[in-house]
Amino acid sequence: MKNPVSAKGVMRKVEIFVNLALIVVSCLLLGIVIKKTFLEKVAPPVKAEVVLELPGVDWSKRDQTLVLALSANCHYCTESAPLYRQLITDISAQANVRTVAVLPQPTAESQQYLKQLGVSPDEVIHTSLRSIGISATPTLLIVDRTGVISDLWVGRLNINNQLALRKRLHIASNDLATDTSGPTSVDASAIKRAFDRKAPVVIVDVEDREIYEVGHVPGAVNIPLDELEARANDELSPDDAIVVYCRNSELSGHAADVLIKNDGFRRVSILEGGLKQWQAAGYQQRAGKTP
Amino acid sequence: MRRTCHGSLFISLLLGCLYTSAVSAAGLQEDFAIVPEGVLRNLAKKIVMPKYPEASRKRGVKGRAVAQVDVDKGGNLTDVKIIEAPDADIEQAVLQAIQQWKFGSATAGEERKPVRLRGKLTFYFVLSGSQARVENPRKFQ
């Protein structure tokens, strides 16, 4: 038969232990909240046209600085490494632009992370991203000579944003994309030039069949956007220079994204302004079904 | 006579209201979640590949066939439209094959409500020498 007095004593001890554990956990949580709220410097969120204050960085050294705010724990940053490598390579050819990577991890750890990715910016800065107003990674900023943010992009960049970023850094190319150029946006005259020199270029109209049949760039094949993912590997070659277009550029960015992300196509360009620009340039269009 | 007119008017209004309700309900039923081919194929529980029609093979007809399919909330096929096919025989072969496909039901949103689906299926009718075969897009092989 159990002794009710000793059972009661055990229960009492368990109760005291649980209470102590709860007090310790509460203190820890309180400490974290106090640290985050009062002790850690939190700057207002960064936005265009405000000055970015980054310890130890002299903005006046170059006309533009591309700031890559990354984190070693951010998988979007890791996945975007090919884009950063390409941008740094393109920027290195320009004397008036430099790149600075900002990470919350200690400098040695940050440098190791960037080395693993093959990303080599001009400078690596260790700072709390919250303290400079950056709440998400990756964030890419273009800062001018006076420290003013002229442009910023948060998150993984889609094709249209990549093209906009390249344009702002004056590394946009109005020629067909090559294996190493990254996506480009081209105007109608670039396509006409490619036709004239009989360059191997595949023009893809991503509108629905009915719209394509009304009028399209001569020689363009029709792969509607919602069929592109399924058909690209069978009907296009990753070695081809591909130009995608629609009526007025609304779908072509998505189409280029589908090709580059899902199917490994590298030489993808977008016809800026779509068929409207082609027509405005005075080039002929053709009607009828896909050849 | 006047009472009869009022009665007819009331019945007409009632029928009109009922008709409007029925049409709007039917409109709601027309809502589909448009899904990529990969999603549709992943939901398929029974897949029947089209057979290469002998007549098409003899005529040397080859190429791509694309069908649009509608699937109800229970995963049943409700409509198949052939959007593109190299000839009528291949169109018929694709239609007959897809009509035997079975799908699992799909849900959407946080509430995981069952949804009707609309998507496309692509097949390639390939002739090489005396060999004739039907292939799925490489992406789904």
Closest to B115 measured CA to CA, from B56, B71, B49, B51: B71
How many Cβ atoms from other residues are within 10 Å of residue A219's Cβ? 12
Q: Write down the number of H helices and E strands in chain A.
A: 11, 10
DSSP B74-126: TS-EEEEEEEE-SSHHHHHHHHHHHTT-EE--EEETTTTEEE-EEEEEEEEEE
**Alpha helix segments (H runs only) across chain A:** 4-34, 75-79, 81-92, 107-117, 159-168, 188-196, 209-214, 225-235, 252-257, 263, 274-280
The radius of gyration computed from the CA coordinates of chain B, to the nearest angstrom, equals: 22
Decide which of B23 and A270 is more confident: A270
**Whole-number Å distance between alpha carbons of A196 and A192:** 6
What value, to the nearest 5°, has the Cα angle with vertex A210 and ends A209 and A215?
95
Q: Which of A209, A231, A263 sits opposite B122 (nearest CB)?
A: A231
Percent of chain A scoring above 70 in pLDDT = 94
How many Cβ atoms from other residues are within 10 Å of residue B104's Cβ? 11
Closest to A121 measured CA to CA, from A95, A146, A92, A157: A92
- Chain B partners within 8 Å of A229 (Cβ): 36-38, 139
Asked if the model's pLDDT at residue A174 lies above 90, the reply is: no
Asked if B45 and B104 touch (Cβ cutoff 8 Å), the reply is yes
Write down the mean pLDDT value for chain A: 88
By the CB < 8 Å criterion, does B137 face chain A? yes
Asked if A257 and A158 touch (Cβ cutoff 8 Å), the reply is yes
Chain A positions with Cβ closer than 8 Å to B:
209, 226-227, 229-234, 263
**Residue whose pair of structure tokens reads 């396509």 in the numeric block:** A191
- Chain A partners within 8 Å of B120 (Cβ): 226-227, 230
Asked if the model's pLDDT at residue A113 lies above 70, the reply is: yes
Query: Looking at CA atoms only, how far is residue B35 from chain A in angstroms?
Result: 9
Interchain contact, A230 vs B120, CB within 8 Å? yes
pLDDT digits (tens, 9 = 90+) for B90-109: 999 999 999 999 999 888 88
Q: How many CA atoms does the CB half-sphere of B1 hold within 13 Å? A: 0
User: Which residue from A minimizes the CA distance to B120?
Assistant: A227
Find out whether the peptide bond into A138 is cis, omega within 30 degrees of 0. yes
Asked if A249 and A160 touch (Cβ cutoff 8 Å), the reply is no
Interchain contact, B138 vs A229, CB within 8 Å? no
Amino acid at A65: T
* Lowest mean pLDDT segment, chosen from A82-86, A226-230, B76-80, B133-137: A82-86
Q: How confident is the model at residue A35 (pLDDT cuts 50, 70, 90)?
A: low
**Whole-number Å distance between alpha carbons of B8 and A273:** 59
Decide which of A56 and B16 is more confident: A56
How many Cβ atoms from other residues are within 10 Å of residue A255's Cβ? 26
pLDDT digits (tens, 9 = 90+) for A116-153: 999 999 999 999 998 889 989 999 999 999 999 999 99
Interchain contact, A229 vs B122, CB within 8 Å? no
User: Which residue from A minimizes the CA distance to B39?
Assistant: A230
Interchain contact, A226 vs B36, CB within 8 Å? yes
pLDDT digits (tens, 9 = 90+) for A198-251: 888 999 999 999 999 999 999 999 999 999 999 999 999 988 899 999 998 789
Asked if the model's pLDDT at residue B121 lies above 90, the reply is: yes
CB pairs under 8 A between A and B: 33
How many Cβ atoms from other residues are within 10 Å of residue A112's Cβ? 12
In this structure, the dihedral spanned by the alpha carbons of residues B13, B17, B19 and B21, taken in order and rounded to 10 degrees, is 180
Amino acid at A234: D
Q: Are strands A139-144 and A64-69 parallel, antiparallel or unpaired?
A: antiparallel
Query: Looking at CA atoms only, how far is residue A84 from chain B in angstroms?
Result: 28
Closest to B61 measured CA to CA, from B69, B52, B70: B52
Query: Looking at CA atoms only, how far is residue A15 from chain B in angstroms?
Result: 40
By the CB < 8 Å criterion, does B80 face chain A? no
pTM of the model: 0.71
